[in-house]
Amino acid sequence: MSGSIQSSNYVPGVSGWEFDQAAGTFEINGLPAERSNVIIKGGRLVISENDTPRCVLDHLPDLHDGQQVKPFIVVDGVTYIRQSFIDDGTVTRAIIAQECSARMTADSVMSARVSALEAQISQLRSR
């Protein structure tokens, strides 16, 4: 157990948390009683709304759509950029509200979890 700290209720894969300094891993088990819009799936943090990662996927282009208008074309070595894509990128049309709210939500949730872990670590150190 050298080089690791863990919560008093740690059971691998079931409950509690463990930080292994030697392996560089941090395992968190169990879910909060209330539903959270931050989910960890496959080792990745996903911010979601009703099980759909809306704030991440809403503004991404559909890469499978072959009919999608391309932002530019190259003709005889000259690059032509479509005016609609230039207009979409102007400051007057920029939309970052969802990104900001998603980051704020993720920051507040992670801050609460980190604070709880820091409290647990302080208790372990005081023993």
Helices assigned H by DSSP within 1-96: 54-57, 83-88
What's the whole-model pTM score? 0.27
Q: Is 111 helix (H, G, I), strand (E, B) or coil?
A: helix
Q: Span 1-27, mean pLDDT?
A: 80
CB 44 within 8 A of CB 106: no
Q: Tell me the per-residue pLDDT of 46-88, one tens digit each, with 9 for 90 and over.
A: 555 455 554 445 555 555 555 566 777 888 888 888 887 777 6
pLDDT tops 60 at residue 23: yes
Range with the poorest average pLDDT among 1-10, 55-64, 86-95: 55-64
